[in-house]
């Protein structure tokens, strides 16, 4: 069980930004930008993009639609923001429960480190 699995089950608290039937969005505990929100599916068992197939398309699309909603709720939509899914060791993934980062509120360097 990952830390996000415990959050989705309500066993560990989080600072909730948005929730619906499919996803939960909450503030990152160690923010890398003024807005740093994580969006996770309520469906457990997807470690990262390497686990997804066509059956997950609607869920992944919903995560992107949620990112837009989160950006508006956090007031960064107009200024711009970045959505990131880290997949695997080389990308620095540290929690193996698929999650989308939504970062904004400052200039974001490109390419990322
Ligand atoms: P990854 O490196 O796997 O893409 O991102 C994992 C993210 O989860 C990191 O940005 C890290 O700060 C965040 N994180 C790790 N543990 C917790 C936690 O217990 N609560 C919250 N809100 N964020 C966490």
pLDDT of residue 113: 84
Residue 34 phi, psi dihedral angles, 5° rounding: -55, -40
Q: State pLDDT tens for residues 65-84.
A: 999 999 999 999 999 999 99
Whole-model pTM: value is 0.98
* Alpha helices (H) in 20-80, listed in sequence order: 57-74
Ligand 1: lining residues by beta carbon, under 6 Å: 3, 14, 26-30, 38, 86, 92-95
- Residue whose CA lies nearest to ligand 1 atom number 1: 93
Give the chain's mean pLDDT: 98
Q: What is the pLDDT of residues 40-64, one digit of tens each?
A: 999 999 999 999 999 999 999 999 9
Beta bridge pairs of residue 82: 103
User: Which are the catalytic amino acids?
Assistant: 99
Q: Which domains does the chain have, with CATH numbers?
A: 3-104 (3.30.428.10)
pLDDT for the residue numbered 35: 98
Q: What percent of the chain has pLDDT over 70?
A: 100
């Amino acid at each position: 069980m990952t830390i996000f699995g415990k959050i989705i089950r309500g066993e560990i608290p989080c600072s909730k930004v948005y929730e619906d039937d499919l996803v939960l969005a909450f503030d990152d505990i160690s923010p890398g930008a003024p807005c740093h929100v994580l969006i996770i599916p309520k469906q457990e068992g997807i470690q990262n993009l390497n686990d997804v197939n066509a059956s997950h398309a609607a869920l992944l699309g919903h995560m992107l639609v949620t990112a837009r909603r989160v950006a508006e709720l956090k007031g960064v939509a107009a200024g711009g923001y970045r959505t990131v899914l880290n997949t695997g060791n080389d990308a620095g993934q540290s929690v193996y429960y698929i999650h989308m980062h939504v970062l904004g509120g400052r200039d974001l360097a490109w390419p990322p480190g």
